[in-house]
Amino acid sequence: MKNRTVPLNSLLRQAATIASLLCHRGWAERNAGNFSVRLPGKPSAFPTFPKKKIFSGTLPEALPELISDWFYVTVSGSRMRDLAVQPAESSLMVRLQKNGRDFQAFPLKGEAKQPTSELASHLLIHCFLKKQGALKKAILHTHPTELIALTQIPACRNKAHLNRLLLGMYAECAMFVPKGVGLLPFMLSGGLDIAKATLAELKEHDTVLWAKHGVLSVGRDLDDAFDSVDMVAKAADIFLKVKSSGHEPEGLSLDHIRALARLAAPMLLR
């Protein structure tokens, strides 16, 4: 069956919107954050580049399951505030070679560019999602202030406590993030250790909080991945605001949380 094509302009518009939202939330300081989208085929209206404009690299591990796919990814060192205005200059397309380890990165505008330093981690997670048959094709990593602040509190570095707190803060979080969040202790980023630890959490959650660092979320597209982070961050913000007012948050009861999750279940299957 022939691979479906994806309109490149549509993808760039969505990426620019998400980058703008990340900046507006204050989650994208300097060059913080990155994202990627797995595509079932070469995007339509994709330009042709001479070899001198193609960046070539090698992954630490072969991922032959991904050789038929294309990946839209952010450029190494790129700023979300720039991507929001000129998405083609701050992103590129990546495709693996037949050995599943070597890759080529095609700029969408200008000269050859290097993909995000987290490329190997992104592709490892995409490989996991694909093998699981998941519909989730987008990965978003960002630095939500509220969630990073929450992990400065020792009790909130206990996953069970953290999820009870977040899901209890307001109805929509209990409805649309019913699986809660995964949680990792502080780990150095940029290597496969944190990616593999994240994979273990993604078996149960779509959003994983990296203590004192940020969050990684997966979704059907970038909007879906952003929505999960946005709701969890709002829950954290509500908790912190109530605490800062000198009061103890009451939260929803477990019965309410479970009832809300049941109510939302049909909507999440659409």
3-class secondary structure for the chain? CCCCCCEHHHHHHHHHHHHHHHHHHCCCCCCCCEEEEEECCCCECCCCCCHHHCEEEECCCCCHHHCCCEEEEEECCCCHHHHCCCHHHCEEEEEECCCCCEEEEEECCCCCCCECCCHHHHHHHHHHHHHCCCCCCEEEEECCHHHHHHCCCHHHHCHHHHHHHHHCCCHHHHHHCCCCCEEECCCCCCCHHHHHHHHHHHCCCCEEEECCCEEEEEECCHHHHHHHHHHHHHHHHHHHHHHHCCCCCCCCCHHHHHHHHHHHHHHHCC
Q: Please indicate whether residue 29 is annotated as part of the active site.
A: no
Q: Cβ(144)–Cβ(240) under 8 Å?
A: no
Cα separation, 154 vs 64, in Å, equals: 41
Strand-pairing partners, residue 141, are: 34, 216
Which of the following is catalytic: 65, 89, 111, 118? Answer: 118
Catalytic positions are 118
